[in-house]
Structure 1
Amino acid sequence: MKTALLLMAALLASCSSTSSSTPAVTSASERSTLSVAAESRTMIWNGVAVEGGRVFVSGPRWTGSKGPSVGVLDKAGQPQPYPSAAWNEPGRDPAQSFVNVNAIHRDGDGHLWVIDAGVSGFGGPPVPSGPKAVAIDLRTNQVVRVYPFDARIAGPGSYVDDIRFHGRHGYLTDAGRPGIIVLDLDSGAARRVLDGHPSATAPSNRPIIVDGAIVKAPDGSPLRVNADPLEVSPDGKYLYYASLHGPWSRIETRWLDDASIPSTDLAAKVEPWADLPPTGGTAMTANGDLYFGDLATNAIKRRTAGGTITTVLQDARLHWVDAPDIDEDGFIWLPTPQMDRVALFNGGVSNVDQPVRLYRLRVK
């Protein structure tokens, strides 16, 4: 009996240790199916990043989100302001606080990057000192550097969207004023390339369709989102990118990194890559598999490095999966902000099915 009690105590201690380090509410037995990791009735999250047992979420305020712009989930799965309450406080100096965060991303070097479109609202002008990339040290939970984008880089019409890395360069998409931003991580200098190039521009003949209906902009026209999803190939050779609508293109990073190449010559280096459907976001594995949300079918799909596309899971709950993340344990984390249902795109009336959920699914 004494031995049994000791074994039971050890088991309970082990379970307690696991729950204290993981905010998700799923169990190991559920990992082969779609499971709810967290949910919120205040924050509408469209981005997720998972690192060391911590789950970070983010979302722009223009969706109607009432929670922090960037949060870390606590033990109950609720977002707490990250890296501080001050950075998440509306109305503060936009150079030192979040305005409208569109994406978060881990760089593989111990940093969480926050991409702040810095706009007054969806389709609104950038706020002075608002557009920026913010690097946070995940070991100290401190902002280590802010990369501001002035009006030359993020001017009227811009909506700085997301970031990926290779070497000492970051690459960002501009979903408003179509183009790619190349950021020197050492000097902080930024350049715009492929401005207005067809590969970065939303086509007029590929509408965003969700649940059989065309998603409309606030003015009633079909919503068009320019350069949006992007990935860097595992070997760092290529940047893959597209408008939200697709199709995808690629360009070698060596050309993007060379500031001496004239814009016309750079445009000639762009190649077609993959004809993918409209997607809310993507994640790429070390072997080159691309996971993406197919907005029209409420599905997660996988494109192998060889070009084969398969459906991983189709489920009505996966309504507008946005920027996902794949963790070290082989789970893909899937935020579902239901962007097409927010009040902005529905005459001021929110049709978001509450609570907003974050799912996870075993993929490897």
Structure 2
Amino acid sequence: MSAYALPTLSQAQTLRIEATSSSLDWNAVTLAKGHVFVAGPRWTGFSGPAVGILTKNKDVAPFPNVEWNAWKPGQDATHHFVSVNALHTAPDGTLWVVDTGTPSFGGAPVPGGAKLVRIDPATGHILRIYPLEPNIAQTGSYVDDIRFNDRHAYLTDAGRAALIVLDLETGQARRVLENHASTHAQPERPIVMEGHIVESHPNQPLLVNVDPLEVSPDGTWLYFGPMEGPWSRAPTALLDDPTVSPETLAAAIQPWADLPPIGGSAMDAEGTLYFTNLKENSLYQRDSSGQISKVMSDPRLHWADAPTLAADGRLWIPIAQLDRLPQFHQGHSLIKPPFLLVSIDLPTAAQQVRH
């Protein structure tokens, strides 16, 4: 039996549909200041805003405004969203937007496009823009997701296989562990959905380099891995120190968890990792001792993407159906509308949120 094919928990979990959309293929959600924010990348071809806020009617309104969501090819991208892949609420409650800057799947970032945008979620005021220069977000890069640890943020480059370490005070970013075994996808671990290997091109399995990441509750470890697994861990003290040599950092990488291909993850304050198992349309949890158990399975959890923990203990998950997009089926869409935004009550009551 594989490490992640364990019996379902006895507690009955409930899945609640929070919102639906036919115009936004959302792959990101976060909650801040009483609001729900969603995002979806441009390359999926849908017309919804790059970043949206759920209205009282459960519609998606552009956030922070229409202008930030109105970028067109050829325009300056410095103050527009080009293609957003992740949202995250920082420990101080601010909203962070990860803009890959790449309008097409696998394409190069446009000038000024790759950036992080820190926003006041209550007012929509832009607090700071962190440009990701061409030496950081390179041709072939896909800046994927972000986590925080004191004055540093860590990001994954799912395109060119590296971690990015950002000093939040100076704005300086560094690439580390480039093409290291821990950041590089392994072809022998394909993504399987609905009985078929997901392919980027005919007879070419979709390979996604380092993608999910989490920081341990005590801040001493960064956990990360390719979308297909396995996960490794790195000491944050070494990641944060720009004087540490690549060789020293590489020697400090340790195996952490042999997880399957996942859509996304979230970690609570106790160190429990919640992750979506793509093949099984399921949500699993891994507790701090390493014990893995299934929370629930549901056919609606199809390519359940990056989840987020709410203060009330529910896990919010955008359902992206990414493997059904035309890009992966020779131009034929297998999407089953509408896209769902769901929440699930977790087996442990009153989970504490970990940023």
Q: Normalising by structure 2, report the TM-score.
A: 0.92
1:241, 1:249 within 8 Å by CA — same for their partners in 2?
yes
How far residue 52 of structure 1 moved from its aligned partner, in angstroms, is 3.2
Per-residue CA deviation, residues 50-99 of structure 1 (Å, 9 max, x unaligned), is 12331110000111221000000011111100111111112142111011
SS at match of 1:348: coil
State the Cα deviation string for residues 121-140 of structure 1 (Å, max 9, x = none). 11111111111111111233
Partner of 1:352: 335
SS state of the match for residue 222, structure 2? strand
How does 1:57-206 map onto structure 2 within 5 Å? 57-91=38-72, 92-206=75-189
8 Å contact from structure 1 (residues 64, 342) kept in 2: no
Give the counterpart letter for 1:69 in structure 2. A
| Structure 2: distance between partners of 1:173 and 1:303 | 21
Contact 1:64 1:343 in 2 (8 A): no
- For 2:150 and 2:33, how far apart are their aligned partners in 1? 23
Letter in 2 for 1:81: P
Cα offset, 1:189, TM superposition = 0.4
Q: Which ranges in structure 2 are unaligned for 5 or more consecutive residues?
A: 1-11, 350-355
RMSD: 1.1
Deviates further, 346-355 or 162-171: 346-355
Alignment of 1:254-333 (within 5 A): 254-333=237-316
Aligned to 1:221: 204
* Misfit runs of 4+, over 3 Å: none
For residues 241 and 326 of structure 1, the distance between their equivalents in structure 2, rounded to whole angstroms, comes to: 18
Mind listing any 5+ residue stretches in structure 1 that lack a counterpart?
Answer: 1-30
- Taking the aligned partners of 1:118 and 1:86, their CA distance within structure 2 comes to 16
Query: Shift of the alpha carbon at 1:246?
Result: 0.3
What is the letter of the counterpart of residue 36 of structure 1?
A: I
Quick one: distance in 2 between partners of 1:89 and 1:220? 36
Query: Which residue type is aligned with residue 325 of structure 1?
Result: T
- The 3-state SS of whatever aligns with 1:153 is coil
Give the number of the structure whose residues are more often helix, by fraction.
1
Question: Partners in 1 of 2:21 and 2:71 — Cα distance?
Answer: 20
Report the counterpart of residue 49 of structure 1 in structure 2.
30
- SS of equivalent residue, structure 2 residue 136: coil
CA displacement, residues 146-203 of structure 1 (integer Å, 9 cap, x when unaligned):
1111111011110000000101000000000000000000010000000110100000
Cross-structure match for 2:195: 212
Whether contact under 8 Å (1:112, 1:138) holds in the other structure is yes
Aligned equivalents of 2:153, 2:269: Cα separation in 1: 18
Partner of 1:7: none
Letter in 1 for 2:151: R
- Percent identity for Structure 1 against Structure 2: 49
Distance 1:95 1:152 in 2: 17
1:228-267 correspondence to structure 2 within 5 Å: 228-267=211-250
Task: Report the CA distance shift for 1:220/1:85 in structure 2 as closer, same or farther (over 3 A).
Answer: farther
Q: Which amino acid aligns with 2:118?
A: A
Q: Is contact 1:342–1:350 with CA below 8 Å preserved after alignment?
A: yes
CA distance in 1: counterparts of 2:254 and 2:154, whole angstroms = 17
Equivalent position SS for 1:297? coil
| Cα distance, 1:327 vs structure 2 | 0.2
Counterpart AA for 1:247: P
User: Does the CA contact (< 8 Å) of 1:110 and 1:139 recur in 2?
Assistant: no
Larger RCO of the pair (alpha carbons < 8 Å, separation 6+): 2
Per the TM alignment, residue 344 of structure 1 is displaced from its structure 2 partner at its CA by 1.3
**Native 8 Å contact 2:42 2:103 kept in 1:** no
1: CA distance between counterparts of 2:120 and 2:76?
21
1:289-319, Cα deviation, whole Å (9 max, x unpaired): 0000000100000000100111100111100
Kept in 1: contact 2:17–2:342 (CA 8 A): yes
Q: TM-score, length-normalised on structure 1?
A: 0.90
* 2:119/2:127 contact within 8 Å kept: yes
